Amino acid sequence: MPIRGVIFDLDNTLVASDLDFELMRREMGLSGSLPLLEAIAELPPADAERCWDILAAHEQQGAQRATLFAGVADFLQMAADRGLARAVLTRNSRAHTLSTLARLALDFNPVICREDGPVKPDPAAIWKICAAWGFAPSECVMIGDYRFDIEAGQRAGTHTVLFTGGGGPSDLEHCRPPCFVLASFAEPAELWQWLERIGLEGSGGCC
C-alpha cells in the first residue's frame, strides 16, 4: 500500500520560529509539568485570558520571524510532484499558522490548528485529516520534532518521522521510538527510500 499523505508539524519542523516556551511559562507564572495549552486550560478564566494574550503575542512574533528550514521548499515540491497529499497539524493558533504559511508561500490542505479540536498528542485531528483525504492512517506519515507529534501519529496509526534538525528537545521518554529519524530536509534521499520501501511492503501502522 503506497504512502499517500504526509502530515507535518509546523514549528521546529517546517519552520524555525524560535518560540521560547520556557520564557512564556515564566511570563505567565506557570509552574508544574502540564504542557502549556493544557496548563492554561486549567486556570480560572481571568488568568487564562491573560495567558492566552501572552501566548498570542509570542506566536505573532514567531509568525513574523519564521523561516523555512533548509530543504523544506524542495521537499514539499518533491512531495507534490509525487502526488502526495500534504497537511499541517499544529498546536499553534489558526491566525498565526495561516499568517506563517501565507508569508512563506506554503500550501497545505487541510491545515489543522488548536481551535479545531483536541490538540496533539490526541490522535483525533490525524483521523480527521485522513478522513478528509480518504486515506487510511497506515497510508500516511506524521513528521514532527516533538514527542506529541510522534505520540499522535502512533496513536492514530500512521507511520512516524522524528525531525531532529530544529535543535529543539526531542524528549521521547513517553512514547515508542519513531519509525524514522530525519536530520535535515536538505538530505531527504534516505527518507524517500524508506517511504518507498514501507509503501511497497505495506506495513500497517507505525513500523
* Residue ranges that bind Mg ion, judged by CB under 5 A: 9, 11-12, 145-146
Neighbours of 186 (CB within 10 A): 12
Closer to Mg ion by CB, 4 or 113: give it: 113
Residue 9 C-beta: closest distance to Mg ion, Å: 4
| The three three-digit cell numbers of residue 164, written as one number | 531532529
Nearest-angstrom CA–CA distance, 6 and 143? 7
The residue among 75 and 138 lying less far from Mg ion, judged by its C-beta, is: 75
Question: CB-wise, 11 or 151, nearer to Mg ion?
Answer: 11
Q: How far apart are CA 70 and CA 111, in angstroms?
A: 22
Min separation Cβ 92 and Mg ion, Å = 9
Point out which residues pair with 181 in neighbouring strands. Answer: 162
For residue 91, the minimal CB distance to Mg ion (Å) is 8
**Min. distance of Cβ 173 from Mg ion in angstroms?**
17
The CA-CA-CA angle for residues 160, 125, 190, to 5°, reads 20
Q: Which residue lies nearer to Mg ion by CB, 21 or 204?
A: 21
Nearer to Mg ion, 9 or 139 (CB): 9
Residue number with CB closer to Mg ion (12 or 138): 12
Residue whose CB is nearest to Mg ion in the complex, by number: 12
Contact call for residues 32 and 39 (beta carbons, < 8 A): yes
Q: Taking the CA of residue 52 as centre, how many other CA atoms within 13 Å lie in the half-sphere pointing to its CB? A: 12
Smallest gap from residue 19 Cβ to Mg ion (A) = 9
Query: Are 144 and 150 within 8 A, CB to CB?
Result: yes
User: Can you say how many angstroms the Cα of residue 87 is from the centroid of all Cα atoms in its chain?
Assistant: 9
85 within 8 A of 199, measured Cβ to Cβ: no
Distance CA 105, CA 99 (A): 10
Q: Least distance (Å) from Mg ion to the CB of residue 149? A: 6
